[in-house]
Amino acid sequence: MSHAPHIASSAAVLPTLERLRAAFPAGALARGDGGDWSPDLALPASLWEIFGHGDDVSAEAFALACARSFAGENMPAKPWLWVQDRASIRRSGRPCLHGLSPHLRSGLIHIAAPRPVDALWAMEEGVRCRALSFVIGELAEDPKPLDFTATRRLVLASEASGVPLILVRKDGHANLSAARMRWRAAAAPSLAHRWNERAPGAPTCHAELFRARGLRPGAFHLAYGIGGDDAERAAWPGDRLDLVPELRDRPLDADRLATG
């Protein structure tokens, strides 16, 4: 299955998933018609797999962005689950509350499973619970219990309950799997910082969709909304940065000109 990766959109064209969603009315692209993936596609909840390097958390950030696109408007209402096995905690640490998007902070239930088989069990339990908004699973390398049957179970459970499960595979190999979409995500050089040209700016991510049911595979370059959230933070009420007005030239009033 060789396909030429094509750039769906550049960083400038894809500011946020939400803004793009507003730009394209939902349902304009029918699902599963062999078209290109785009963030505004209303895809059914299922198991997605995202492969990433162990020293890089772009895959997790991309998973969170996808999960947010699933959850939509009722984002903060429901709790969500992040399941990690011990190897992945050792490899890349635990989620940091202050690095998460503000909407996601209050509802996080974190599971530190001792073994991959416990992590898979916890994911399945979570996916069967309709009260969760989504489940993020994180497994390091290729654990033996994660075979085709296990992924098939997860897919069935997720599609039955409508709770999406996004499985992040750190340093994993794309073995046989029943996942509906399979991605490969890697960090890409960040955008230019607003004030400091030497500083890393808003994060970007290079994601390659290499297997999907009903969608054409392709490579995408994504920016914002994948964990950095700078633009959204500034728009959040109570944020101090939001209180600072933008510097701009004041137009000269006719009467002031007359008095001055």
Partner 1 sequence: MLVTEGAHGPRIDAANPPAAAIGARAGARLTDARMLDPGIVAVPSDHMGDDATLEKMALAAQRWGPWSAPDRPDAILLDATGSAHLAGGEAAMLAEIEARYAAQGYDARSAIAPTAGAAWALSHYGAAHTVLLDPHAIAAALAPLPVAALRLDDDLIVLLTRLGLKSIGDILSVPRAGLARRFRNRRSADANPLMRIDQLTGRLPEPLVPIIADPPAQADRRLMEPLRHSDLVKRVIGDLAGDLARTLEAKRQGARRLLLLLWRVDGGAIDRRVELASPSRDPAHIAALFDERLDDIDAGLGIDQARLVAIWAEPLVHGQVRLDGENEDEGDIARLVDRLVTRLGAQAVRSPRAQASHLPERAQRWASVGPAIGATAALQLDLGFHHRPLKLLDRAEAITVIYATPEGLPRRFRWRGGLHDIVRVEGPERIAPEWWRERSSARLRDYYRIEDESGRRYWIYRHGLIGDGRGGIPDWYLHGLFA
Which residues from 14-53 bind partner 1, rule CB under 8 A? 53
Interaction of residue 238 with partner 1, rule CB under 8 A: yes
Interaction of residue 236 with partner 1, rule CB under 8 A: yes
Interaction of residue 188 with partner 1, rule CB under 8 A: yes
Please state the φ and ψ torsions of residue 117, each to the nearest 5 degrees.
-70, -35
Q: Strands 108-113, 165-170: parallel, antiparallel or unpaired by DSSP?
A: unpaired
Q: How far is the CB of 188 from partner 1 (least distance, A)?
A: 5
Q: How far is the CB of 84 from partner 1 (least distance, A)?
A: 10
DSSP-derived letter for residue 211 is: E
CB contact at 8 A, 128 and 81: no
Interaction of residue 150 with partner 1, rule CB under 8 A: no
Angle, vertex CA 194, rays to CA 188 and CA 200, nearest 5: 35
CB contact at 8 A, 165 and 134: yes
Interaction of residue 174 with partner 1, rule CB under 8 A: no
Q: Name which of 153 and 216 has its Cβ closer to partner 1.
A: 153
Q: Figure out which of the listed residues 107, 152, 219, 232 binds partner 1, where binding follows CB under 8 A.
A: 107
Separation of alpha carbons 259 and 206, rounded Å: 57
Q: How far is the CB of 199 from partner 1 (least distance, A)?
A: 3
Q: Figure out which of the listed residues 199, 213, 235, 253 binds partner 1, where binding follows CB under 8 A.
A: 199
Q: How far is the CB of 101 from partner 1 (least distance, A)?
A: 10
Q: Which of 120, 126, 118 is nearest to 161 (CA)?
A: 126
Separation of alpha carbons 61 and 168, rounded Å: 10
Q: Name which of 203 and 217 has its Cβ closer to partner 1.
A: 203
Question: Looking at this protein, which amino acid is placed at residue 174?
Answer: A
Counting residues that bind partner 1 (by CB under 8 A) gives 67
For helices 148-161 and 116-128, the axis angle rounded to 10 degrees is: 20
Interaction of residue 191 with partner 1, rule CB under 8 A: no
Q: Name which of 49 and 124 has its Cβ closer to partner 1.
A: 124
Interaction of residue 151 with partner 1, rule CB under 8 A: no
CB contact at 8 A, 220 and 39: no
Angle, vertex CA 51, rays to CA 48 and CA 52, nearest 5: 140
Q: Strands 204-212, 135-140: parallel, antiparallel or unpaired by DSSP?
A: unpaired
Q: How far is the CB of 49 from partner 1 (least distance, A)?
A: 19
Q: Which residues bind partner 1 (CB under 8 A)?
A: 53, 55-58, 60-61, 76-79, 89-90, 92-100, 102, 105-114, 118, 121-122, 125-126, 129-132, 186-190, 193, 196, 198-200, 203-206, 226-228, 230, 233-234, 236, 238-241
